[in-house]
Amino acid sequence: MCIMLFVLCYISDSFSWWESFQLNDRYQKFFNWTTEVYSSPVYQVHPKLSVILNETHATTNPPPTTPPGPQYHVAFPQNYHFSLDQADTCKNKTPFLVLMVPVAPDNVEARNAIRQTWGKAEVVQGEVVLTLFMLGLSGQADVEKQQEKIQHENLQHQDLILSDFLDSYFNLTIKTMVIMDWLATHCNNAAYAMKIDSDMFLNVDNLVITLKKPELPKVNYLTGMLMWNSEVIRLNSSKWYVSEEVYPYPTYPPYPLGAGYVFSNDLPGKLVEISKTITPFNIEDVYIGMCLKRLGLSPSSPPDPSQFNDYHRGYNRCMFSKVITYILNSTEELVNFWTDLKKPGSPC
Ligand SMILES: *[C@@H]1O[C@H](CO)[C@@H](O)[C@H](O)[C@H]1NC(C)=O
Ligand SMILES: *[C@@H]1O[C@H](CO)[C@@H](O)[C@H](O)[C@H]1NC(C)=O
Ligand SMILES: *[C@@H]1O[C@H](CO)[C@@H](O)[C@H](O)[C@H]1NC(C)=O
Ligand SMILES: *[C@@H]1O[C@H](CO)[C@@H](O)[C@H](O)[C@H]1NC(C)=O
Ligand SMILES: *[C@@H]1O[C@H](CO)[C@@H](O)[C@H](O)[C@H]1NC(C)=O
């Protein structure tokens, strides 16, 4: 009965993420003897979107041939395909640091603010730094118009990566794993990478200075603002509510706050690989923590933990000159604070 149920669901086009991982959870124990029936490509792009993607296809990827296997769950990044992939970017240079910014497709304002501020410099402290934006497909009615705009924006800046998952708050785990997949497959020559949200202040100089410290690990390294023994929120009105069915334990493994975390660039490939064996989970930063744990790794505290911050309590030029991250209130704040920080004269 259970098997029938999941086979039926998996061949149906129209089931939600919730259904998928609740099912996953329930039938996980059957994985070992059901892989052979797990054969149809699980997630397909809506036909309308396929046509649009076809038109906007910048690179020709081979059609997906999905072999059977439990790894083909909703967050497994290789279920998705890039229609803009900046394929030459890391062929033409070897970045020391890649800043990967997940951002909503229509949030041009945030992208422009980043392009003017921390995403602007291509060389920081003598090292090549690359800033790229990760976008999924808009759920909006006029997808076509949106795609056109994205193509146009990319012609101008050559910094957009577009994949074919539906871009929504609930799908942030997919977005993060697609970022990891891109790093592993399109930019594995980079030394370090950072996943950083579009509402962040980033003192990119301080980040590069930290990463260049000789004692800093070059592999299996991940740092940021770390959460230890963080309790699972069972209050169903919360944005971070998670049912016991989805995650049965009372606390999460150590994980970096999703707003901004930095890692050695050997990790993306390892995370993608191990994610095949881990039931998808809608809270993306916790999911990274779960993958790390399964890899036998733990995130590291930053050399100076006071440099990774969440919300700021008002702008202070001296303070902003010393930190690496702060979460901001608005895009205007980013531009204003940055402009002030960069004006001549000692900040402290
Ligand atoms: C499934 O297979 C894995 C390794 O192949 C094994 O460790 C695990 O115990 C198996 N689970 C069940 C429920 O048989
Ligand atoms: C999409 O592209 C493929 C090959 O590039 C082509 O065979 C197919 O007919 C196209 N589909 C549509 C709907 O344009
Ligand atoms: C998540 O993305 C998948 C693949 O694009 C899509 O089928 C699903 O509807 C999305 N879920 C939500 C809640 O947006
Ligand atoms: C949320 O929890 C309360 C109390 O446990 C329950 O009465 C309510 O039905 C729940 N709401 C939803 C949407 O699950
Ligand atoms: C963030 O924005 C709110 C509303 O505009 C404002 O009241 C608050 O002071 C801001 N916080 C900081 C730290 O600037």
Judge whether residue 344 has pLDDT over 80. Answer: yes
The pLDDT tens digits for 308-333 are 998 899 999 999 999 999 999 999 99
Ligand 3 pocket: which of 171, 172, 178 to mutate (most atoms <8 Å of CB)? 171
Which residues surround ligand 2 with Cβ inside 6 Å?
Answer: 51, 54
For the segment 159-170, the average pLDDT, to the nearest whole number, is 92
For the segment 83-110, the average pLDDT, to the nearest whole number, is 95
Instruction: Pick the ligand that lies closest to the CA of residue 34.
Output: 1
- Which of the two residues, 144 and 199, has the higher pLDDT score? 199
The confidence score (pLDDT) of residue 72 equals: 57
Confidence bin at 187 (pLDDT 50/70/90) = very high
Which range among 28-32, 109-113, 171-175 shows the weakest confidence by mean pLDDT? 28-32
Contacts of 339 (CB under 8 A, 6+ apart): none
The pLDDT tens digits for 216-250 are 999 999 999 999 999 999 998 988 888 888 888 99
Which range among 57-71, 77-91, 137-151, 192-206 shows the weakest confidence by mean pLDDT? 57-71
CA distances from 334 to 58, 191, 331 (A): 32, 27, 5
For the segment 82-109, the average pLDDT, to the nearest whole number, is 95
**Which atom of ligand 3 is nearest to 165's Cα?**
5
> H or E stretch including 132?
strand 127-137
**Which atom of ligand 3 is nearest to 136's Cα?**
5
Judge whether residue 54 has pLDDT over 50. Answer: no
Mean pLDDT of all residues belonging to the chain:
82
Which residues surround ligand 5 with Cβ inside 6 Å?
Answer: 312-314, 329
Q: Quick check: CB of 229 below 6 Å from ligand 1? A: no
**Which atom of ligand 5 is nearest to 329's Cα?**
1
- Which of the two residues, 13 and 104, has the higher pLDDT score? 104
Which residues surround ligand 3 with Cβ inside 6 Å?
Answer: 16-17, 43, 165-166, 168, 170-171, 174
What's the CA-to-centroid distance between 108 and ligand 3, angstroms?
Answer: 22
**Which atom of ligand 3 is nearest to 18's Cα?**
13
Radius of gyration of the CA atoms of the chain, in A = 20
Give me the domains of the chain, ranges plus CATH numbers. Answer: 77-341 (3.90.550)
Quote the CA–CA distance of 346 and 210 in Å, as a whole number. Answer: 21
* Whether 134 contacts 178, CB under 8 Å: yes
